[in-house]
Structure 1
Amino acid sequence: MSDEYVAALVELSPMTAIELGRRSSRPGLDDLSPDGLAERHRLITGTLARLAVVPPSGPDDELAREVITERLTGQAERLASGWAAADLNSISSPVQHVRQTFDLLPTDTEADLAELRDRMAGVPAALDGYARGLAVASAAGRTAAVRQIERCAAQCTAFGAGAGAGAGDGGWFTAFVRGLSTSDTARDPRTDPRTDSGTDAVTRAGLSEVARAADRAYLELAAFLRTELRPAAPSTDPVGADRYRMDQRRFLGTELDLAETYAWGWHEFLTIEAELHRVAGRITGGGSPAAAAAALDADPARSVTGRAAFQDWMTEVSGAVVADLAGTQFDLPESIRALDCRMAPLGSPVGAYYLAPSEDLRRPGSMWFSFPADRQRFPTWRETTVLHHEGVPGHHLQIATALHERDRLNDFRRSLGGTAGHSEGWALYAERLMRELGRLDDDGVLFGLLDSQLFRAARVVVDIGMHLELPIPAEARFATGHRWTPALGLEFLTTRTVSDPALCRDEIDRYLGWPGQAPAYKVGERVWLAGRAAARTRAGGRFDARAFHTAALRLGGMGLDPLARQLARL
């Protein structure tokens, strides 16, 4: 039944098919209109009804039902609430998903180019349906806040006109197609499967036309957001406890005690901050974390210049980590060792993200770094831990391992069952693990790890605090007695962490538009650490960390409640 659901979803959603590396017979892209969302809702509720009446055949089957039921129940709740139609935020909504789909499509053969043209031709219809859904949701009183609309409108303009454009050369889609043509100049006709029969020229002419239409569609969406949606949007950002709990369940697969989690987040933040100060003192001879960050940033040996040089650095360091850990600390089959390191398109939110391999592992996983358009110098001490988080032993190891388990896991658990708590929690755990394995003996790189961990603890208190408008406790030594606001959230991140100010600004917008997701890192790590501690206690001196990690990763994706129960059995 899990496999059947994935197969049905692939037919319904070409974008899901592309993500998984499968074929969908439906042309174009997803139907993001109210009718398309209703069709998806029917698939989910029909599957849940079947799952409820079919008895499991054993423990593995019971787990399979638990995982898919928990995930689909949360999706059905969100679709029924009407907030799925209102999905608009600066980090992960259809605004970004439609464009990112084209990062995953192959372009090697004429058949690939023909499919690319078909999918790109679907961009205007997908964005038009999306806009109609936003309008229907807005009429029902469900509209993203002004902040998200303005950020997304700016992103749409960047995708449609080109980041920093003005010369009339077209947007991202036109540049993408132009890049395909440029890369053809080095093509060897003896080995390249594309022909010179004239089909290639026709295909490219068609691609140029649909690329221009896709660029225009993003500009039209930007205009819709600014002129039609923004006037109806609330100016306040917090979503309140009820919606926050719904979104938090979607990202975590568990129900949090928000008061306890908020207090625990402060304890974690202050504990990590104290160690950050100690390491900063060692780097600077008694100076502050800000002074340590400035000293590290100024060290030529700890940075690279130029986007191409940074991409080369990513590739080199990531490959060295894979070679170091494979077969010693983790089981990494040869088929999952490849990892592409790329720079995200200009105009994307500042930060890093990971895109999974195809189900058959023929398309490798990829991690993408996004920086401000004017950034040319890249401090590597800040980014080494990010490589561990996005690559190995973080997201890539976890997600590719599950995909590799074709003979043991159903398709849902391999590809679609994961939650932010499960994946981001593991990736944060992986950052810490690199230190435990002795791979962070340099104080500069250790300082980068602690900054990353501090930032994720700050996410817990800032995200929960802003959306629930909670008071700031006295032990915070910051704005004591005040309740959280976006302005205080930004001040807190820029004064109490040493993260890039551009990242901090994007982070506040992210939290406010994606409620409940930001705490997933630390909350998920908490579950992974508790599971390992319990396994170590049960095994005593026989505890084998490599065996524990292998068994845990082979479980596949799931919410935190089933994950905690499964880790308790390892």
Structure 2
Amino acid sequence: MNSTNSVNAVADQHVEDVAALDPVTATAAGIAGHDHELPDLSPAGFEARADLARRAVAAMTATQPADEREAVARDAFLERVGLEVENADAGHDRAELSVISSWAHAIRESFDLMSVETEEGRADVRARLAGVPAALEGYRTTLAEEAARGRVVARRQYAEVAGQIRRWTGQEGASGDFFTGLIPDAPEGRAASAAYADLGRWIETELAPRGLEKEAVGPERYALASREFLGAAVDLEETYAWGWQELKRLTDDMVATSNRIVPGGSIPDAVAALDADPARQLGSREEFRDWMQQLADRTISDLADVHFDIPEPIRGIECCLAPTNDGGVYYTGPSEDFTRPGRMWWSLPDDSDQLTTWREVTTVYHEGVPGHHLQVGQTVYRADMLNRWQRMLCWVSGHGEGWALYSERLMDELGYLEDPGDRLGMLDMQGFRAARVIVDIGLHLELTIPEDNPFGWRPGERWTPDLVFEFMRIHSRMDDAMLRFEVLRYLGWPGQAPSYKVGERIWLEARADAQARHGADFDLRAFHRAALDLGSIGLDPLRASLARL
């Protein structure tokens, strides 16, 4: 049994403490017993969670690791929870609000993971719905206090979130009222919907006029955000320059691959041919869901026990259409006991018309296996190696998204993207992520576009939101509805978008280093298993740990 001041004991106790103060995170992690509750989003609630993080850092600092695994766990905990304290001290956690990340989003999304198939599940849903008005009232108080201190986000983000809330509550759009649809005729759903609608109107009328005109957050805020998403401090200007080089490499590969699809044709010619191919078209959202489920299942069957060690409990994944139409694709992990499976979600905007498969084969690999589902599922499964905090609560975007992007490239290496259309889809998304490195760092640090950039595009101009959209439109094949959401995400969530490509870069460097050290004895399957057994950790400790494998 762990002593009360051991690394694992401190980490495991922190899971219990976080779940009690933040039931939404407990639901997301699959920790049972809190689905009927909501967090206190008043200023006092935020301070309670910040105090918890401070106490946890102090307790973990006092521990002495017993072995290498505990040392990795301790470092990961101090890095992650320490950043929570930094963000709380700076007030960023209280004022944060964007089209993809806010407490309004977190509460709404928590219901996606709750079941209404049993009486107990319905009771939990109704109880949580009943708590929504009080939770949102506390949230409004916090946002108002932060705004009075001058801590606000860009005006555009407030306006866009207000629009999202109108769609969630059925005031506009095709998805209907999310809250009243959970349990028809339940008064708690109507009250929750009304509370959300009130919050949306308040954000639009009270906060939006006080929002910042400029989206750029500047070097100091961006550096902290970058460390939060990467688990590493990187040279941002070097990374910006590397992004241009990587995008050029991928664009050249896309040109060559397009020539295989339409001999002598351009990338747009190849895209038009693929979009017009009846064999690659799907007629409805339901057909789209069924297609991705079939591909995900087939991929797991192919890779298990051949290229990856896939534990039995994660050899299934559930592919779902998201209940809202905001745009985006995301993954939610399995519950701690695996009674809730890992799920891949597609949120398609009302006006999205791209139901074609060639773009999304690589997305299934990214969100499913060998991407997030294998990575997250294996972490949850490894109770024999990882403490409960590592398995249930630790997530580093650069590690996780970097692995998922690495997985896309790996599937090409393994021969699963021999079809040139599917391969073009992979390259398109890789290029899309490289372009995001450029625009995210460029916009938020207010950098200039290099005079000698490889595309000869607007040399010497300074980044603006309009230039971000123009650049991303040139360097992606995404329809305008999806692309608009993506750009809004970068503008309001600084530092997150580059974590995919920067993470992949470090995963590839670590693999190359291991191959060089082991030579002919290098075993790719063993490398992957050992790397994933570390759990989710920052990119700096990941690099150091993989160097010892």
Contact 1:416–1:557, Cα closer than 8 Å, also in 2? no
For residues 75-474 of structure 1, what are the structure 2 equivalents within 5 Å? 75-161=84-170, 163-164=172-173, 171-178=177-184, 208-348=186-326, 350-375=327-352, 378-473=355-450, 474=452
Partner of 1:41: 50
Q: 2:24 touches 2:35 (CA, 8 Å); kept in 1?
A: no
Contact 1:471 1:481 (8 Å CA) reproduced: yes
Check conservation: 2:319, 2:345, Cα contact below 8 A: yes
Structure 1 position 107, deviation (Å): 2.2
Q: Secondary structure at the match of 1:305?
A: coil
Counterpart in the other structure of 1:67: 76
Give the stretch that moved more between structures: 393-402 or 333-342.
333-342
CA contact (8 A) 1:471 1:484 kept: yes
For 1:502 and 1:312, how far apart are their aligned partners in 2?
A: 23
* Distance 1:397-1:162 versus aligned 2 partners, 3 A rule: farther
Cα distance change, pair 559–138 in 1 and its aligned pair in 2 (3 A): same
- After TM superposition, give the deviation of residue 164 of structure 1 in Å: 2.1
For 2:64 and 2:217, locate their aligned partners in 1 and report how far apart those are by CA, in whole Å.
Answer: 39
Distance 2:352 2:215 in 1: 29
Q: Give, in angstroms, the shift of residue 163 of structure 1.
A: 4.6
Q: What is the alpha-carbon distance in structure 2 between the residues aligned to residue 345 and residue 286 of structure 1? A: 42
Given the alignment of the two structures, is residue 511 of structure 1 paired with residue 490 of structure 2, yes or no? Answer: yes
Question: Of the candidates 530, 541, 565, which is equivalent to residue 509 of structure 2?
Answer: 530
- Counterparts in 2 of 1:69 and 1:368: CA distance versus 1, 3 Å: same
The answer to whether the 8 A contact 2:261-2:421 is kept is: yes
- 1:497 maps to which residue? 476
Please give the secondary structure, in 1, of the residue aligned with 2:173: coil
| Residue of structure 1 equivalent to 2:7 | none
Q: Is the 8 A contact 1:415 1:557 kept in 2?
A: no
The alpha-carbon deviation at position 377 of structure 1 amounts to 5.4
8 A contact 2:352–2:482 mirrored in 1: no
Superposed displacement of residue 307, structure 1: 1.0
The answer to whether 1:567 aligns with 2:549 is: no
State the match for 1:194 in structure 2. none
In 2, Cα distance between equivalents of 1:375 and 1:244: 32
Q: 1:23 is paired with a residue of what secondary structure?
A: coil
Q: Distance in 2 between matches of 1:391 and 1:27?
A: 29
Provide Cα deviations, 1:241-275, integer angstroms capped at 9, x if missing partner. Answer: 00001111111111111111111111101111111
How far did residue 96 of structure 1 move?
A: 1.4
Q: 2:351, 2:481 within 8 Å by CA — same for their partners in 1?
A: no
Amino acid at match of 2:277: D
Matched, 1:546 2:525: yes
Q: How much has 1:446 moved relative to structure 2?
A: 0.4
Q: Deviations over 1:53-90 (max 9, x none)?
A: 22222222221110100001111100110111111000
Moved more, 153-162 or 237-246: 153-162
Deviations, residues 410-453 of structure 1 (Å, cap 9, x unaligned): 01111222210000000000000000001111000000000010
CA distance in 2, matches of 1:277, 1:26: 50
Partners in 2 of 1:438 and 1:287 — Cα distance?
A: 24
CA distance, structure 1, for counterparts of residue 499 and residue 402 of structure 2: 6
**What are structure 1's unaligned runs of at least 5 residues?**
179-204
Structure 2 residue runs of 5 or longer lacking an equivalent are 1-9
Contact 2:331 2:342 in 1 (8 A): yes
- Residue identity matched to 1:344: A
The alignment partner of 2:318 has SS state of: strand
The size of the alignment, in residue pairs, is 538
More displaced 10-residue stretch of structure 1: 449-458 or 15-24: 15-24
Alpha-carbon spacing, 1:25–1:342, altered in 2? closer, same or farther (3 Å)? closer
Question: Which residue pairs with 1:21 in the alignment?
Answer: 30
Q: Contact 1:356–1:366 (CA<8 Å) still a contact in 2? A: yes
Instruction: Give, in angstroms, the shift of residue 466 of structure 1.
Output: 0.5
> 1:26 offset after TM fit, Å?
8.9
Instruction: Report the AA paired with residue 454 of structure 1.
Output: G
Identity percentage of aligned residues: 46
* CA deviation after TM superposition for structure 1 residue 216, in Å: 0.6
TM-score, normalized by length of structure 1? Answer: 0.92
Q: 1:13 Cα shift?
A: 1.2
Shift of 1:162: 5.3
Letter paired with 2:338: L
Checking the alignment, whether the CA contact within 8 Å between 1:276 and 1:447 is kept in structure 2 is yes
In 1, are the aligned partners of 2:328 and 2:347 still within 8 Å (CA)?
Answer: yes
Shift of 1:110: 1.4
Match of 1:185 in 2: none
Q: 1:283 to 1:26 in 2, by over 3 A?
A: closer
What TM-score do the two structures reach when normalised by structure 2?
A: 0.96
Amino acid at match of 1:121: A
Write the distance in 1 (CA, Å) between the matches of 2:71 and 2:78. 10
Q: Which moved more, 1:48-57 or 1:320-329?
A: 48-57
1:342–1:366 CA contact under 8 A, matched in 2: yes
Give RMSD over aligned pairs: 1.4
After TM superposition, give the deviation of residue 286 of structure 1 in Å.
1.6
Letter in 1 for 2:528: H
The 10-residue stretch of structure 1 (369-378 or 481-490) with the greater mean CA deviation from structure 2: 369-378
2:270, 2:191 → 1: CA distance? 49
